[in-house]
Amino acid sequence: MTPPRLTDANGRPFPLDRLLGSGGEGDVYALLNDPNRVAKVYNDRHQPDTQKVEKLTALIALANPQLLTVAAWPTELLLHANTRRVVGFVMPRLVGYQEIWQLYNPAERLKAFPRAGWTFQVRAAANLAAAFDEVHKAGCLVADVNMKNAQVSAQALVRLIDCDSFQVRANGKQYLCEVGVEHYTPPELQGKHFRSVVRTENHDRFGLAVLIFQLLFVGRHPYQGVYEGAGDPGFVQLITEFRFAQGPMAHSWGMAPPPHTPTFEDIPPEVGTLFRRAFERGSESGTRPRPGEWLPVLRQLEQSSVECAADPGHRYWRGAKGCVWCRLAAKGGPEYFFGVAPGIGTFTVDDAKLQEVLRRLATLRPTEFRYDRNRFAPQVPPEPEPLTDVLEEHQNITLVLGIATAFCILAMPLGFIRKFFFVIALLGSIIFGIWFWILLSRSPRRRELRRRRRARTHAVQDLEVIEGEWDRCVHAYLRHHAELSRWVHRRIDECRGLAVTFQAELKRLTENAEAIARQRHLRFHLLTDAEIPNIGGSRKRILASFNVITAADVEWDKIHQIKGFGDALTRNLMTWKAAVLATFRFDPAAAISPGEQKATVVRFRAQQQQFLTELDRGLIELESLEPACRAKLQMLVPDLKTAIAALEQAEADLRLLRRGE
C-alpha cells in the first residue's frame, strides 16, 4: 500500500515512509529521515470532524517538553495534499514499549519483561503517576484509562498513548473523550454515556489507582475478590457498590482478597491508605489521591524493599512478615517471580517431597475394626423370665389324661372277653384321646415356647441389622481407604512422570528452533549471489519471477514445473541448496530462548505444585477416614448393646423353658 500524499500545516509536502501498524481509527507510518517521530493518519471511517480538528489543534498548542517525554503527544497537524483537510498528526515514536497489562499480568510478564521483579513494577507505578501528573498539570485528562494505553519500556519508563482521545480543555471549551473501559471507570460513572459526561480529575485518579493497584497486586483488580454475600453480582455491580476486596473493612461489605495474592499486610500502611481513599465509598466526593501523592509513597516503598534470602529474584516490603512471594508459593500459589534473578533454572521433580508423601502414606495403614460380639455383651448374664404355675398344673392334667387314654386303648383287647368292655374302652379312649389332644394342642407351655422362640428370632434379626450396618461402615471405610491410597500412588507416578514430559517438551522446542534456524539459514543465501553451473543472470531473473529468490525457495517440484528447467538445471539448483544446507550449524544449547525455557519451567513447576497440593489434600482426607469411621461405629454401640442384651435375654428365656422338657 502506498502511503497517502500529505502536507504539513503550511502546505509543504510531508513524505511518509512505510506503514508501521494499523489500529481501529487509522494507520501509523514511519517518517522519511526522522526516526524519532511517526504519523497517525485516520482511516476513512474516522475522518476528523471540526470538533476533532479543534481538539487536535488545542493539544498541539499545549505540547511542551515535559509532556513529550511522558506521552505520545501530537505536535503537528497533517493535511491531505489535495483536499487540504486535516487527516492526521505527528507524534513522538515509541520504540521498545509494551502495553502495561503485559507487565502486571504475571503470566504475560514472564515473556514480555522476564527480568522484572516486584520493585520494577513499583517503579513503573511511580512513573505512571508522574505521567498522569504532567497530563493533569496541562489541564487535560487521560479519560479513557485502560490496560493498553499506558506503555512501559524495559527501563520501567511509562508513556501514555492515544492522546487524541484525551479530554482537553481549551479556549473555554471542553473536548470530551467518548469512550471508556469499565475496569478503569469509577463507580459513580458506571453505566453513564461518555458522549455527554464531562470527566473530572477525580475520575482520572480512579483509573490511575487501579493500574497502580494492578502493578502492586500481581495484576488483580481492586474489586476482584471473593464475594461472600448472597447472589452472583457481576463485575460492574461490584464496582458500582464499592466492594473493594482488600483492606481492614473489606469483610464488612462481604469481600475477601482473592486466594494466592498479597494482602494489605504486604504493603506499607501509607500505600494502603491511598488505595482505600481511591476505592472505598466516599472516594467519589473528590478525595482520591492525586498523582503527586503517589510519588513519594511509591518511591519510599521501592527504597524500603528488601531481597529475599531464598531467592534474590524475590523483593518485598521490609515491613512485611517475611517474603510474600515465598509465602504464597509455599501455600500452593503460583511462583510469581520465579527466575527473575539471573540463571534460568531447570525443572526437576521434587522427590524429597514425594518421599515425604510416601512416608505419610505408610503411617496410614487401614485399621481393621474387627467385630467381636462378646465385647458388647452384658457383663452379668440375664435372669431368665420365670415360668408360671399354670404351666405346671396344665401339664399334670394333660399327663393324667394321657395316661387315661393309653389305659383305655390298652383295655380294648378286653373286648374279647365281653363286647361291653370293648365299647367302654373305645368310648373312653375317644373321649380321653380328644380331650388329651385338645389339652395338648392348646398347651400354654407350647404357646410360651412359641412366644419365646419368636422373641429370639426377632432379637437375632434386630442384631443382624445393626451388625450389617457395622460391616457396611467398615467395608466402605476400607474401600475408600484403598481407593484413596491407589489415587495417591497414581498421582505420585504422574508427578514423577513430569520429568520425562519436561524433557520431551524441551526436545520439541529445540526441534522447532532447529527447523526455524535452518529455514532462516536457507533464506540468508540469495540466488543472485550464488554461482551455480548453467544458471546465469537471465535464468536467475526467470526464477525470481516465480518467487524463487533464496535457497529456501528451491524445491524440486517447484523448479521442475518452470518452463526451460529440465532435470539437469533443477539438479544443479538442488545441489547448490544441499551445499548451503551443509554449512548450516545448529547449537542446541542456545536454541531455546531464555524466556521460552523459563515459561516452560514455570509451567512444569506449577503443575508439580498443583500435584503436591492435591496430594496433601488427599492425605488429609485419608487421615480423616479412620476417625470418621470410628465415630460412626461408636454411634452404633448403644443400639448394638441393647440388641445383644435382648438376644441373650431371649436365649436365656428359651433355655429355661426347654430345661423343663
Task: Catalog residues that contact another protein under the rule CB under 8 A.
Answer: 99, 101-102, 104-108, 147-148, 181-183, 214, 218-221, 224-227, 232, 234-236, 245, 257-261, 332-334, 336, 480, 483-484, 487, 606-607, 609-610, 613-614, 617-618, 620-621
Question: Shortest Cβ distance from residue 370 to another protein (Å)?
Answer: 26
DSSP string covering 417-478, please? T-HHHHHHHHHHHHHHHHHHHHHHHT-HHHHHHHHHHHHHHHHHHHHHHHHHHHHHHHHHHH
3-state secondary structure of 60: helix
Beta bridge partners of 484: none
Whether the Cβ atoms of residue 90 and residue 41 lie closer than 8 Å to each other:
no
How many CB atoms are located within 10 Å of the residue 426 CB?
A: 15
Question: Shortest Cβ distance from residue 239 to another protein (Å)?
Answer: 10
Residue 20 or 32 with smaller CB distance to another protein:
20
Phi, psi of 312, rounded to the nearest 5 degrees: -65, -10
Question: Shortest Cβ distance from residue 616 to another protein (Å)?
Answer: 9
Distance from C-alpha of 639 to C-alpha of 473, rounded to nearest angstrom: 15
- Grid coordinates of 92: 513522538
Question: Shortest Cβ distance from residue 331 to another protein (Å)?
Answer: 11
Question: Shortest Cβ distance from residue 78 to another protein (Å)?
Answer: 28
Residue 22 or 388 with smaller CB distance to another protein:
22
Residue 193 or 585 with smaller CB distance to another protein:
193
Question: Shortest Cβ distance from residue 235 to another protein (Å)?
Answer: 4
DSSP string covering 551-601, please? GGG--HHHHHHSTT--HHHHHHHHHHHHHHHHT----GGGTS-HHHHHHHH
Residue 57 or 185 with smaller CB distance to another protein:
185
Residue 236 or 306 with smaller CB distance to another protein:
236
Closest CA to 237 of 252, 219, 255: 255
User: Euclidean distance between the first and final Cα of the chain, in Å?
Assistant: 119
Question: Shortest Cβ distance from residue 225 to another protein (Å)?
Answer: 5
Residue 232 or 531 with smaller CB distance to another protein:
232
Contacts of 360 (CB under 8 A, 6+ apart): 619
- Amino acid in position 397: I
Residue 42 or 227 with smaller CB distance to another protein:
227
Question: Shortest Cβ distance from residue 224 to another protein (Å)?
Answer: 5
Residue 464 or 623 with smaller CB distance to another protein:
623
Question: Shortest Cβ distance from residue 316 to another protein (Å)?
Answer: 18
Phi, psi of 406, rounded to the nearest 5 degrees: -60, -45
Residue 88 or 334 with smaller CB distance to another protein:
334
Helix and strand totals (H; E) in the chain: 18, 16
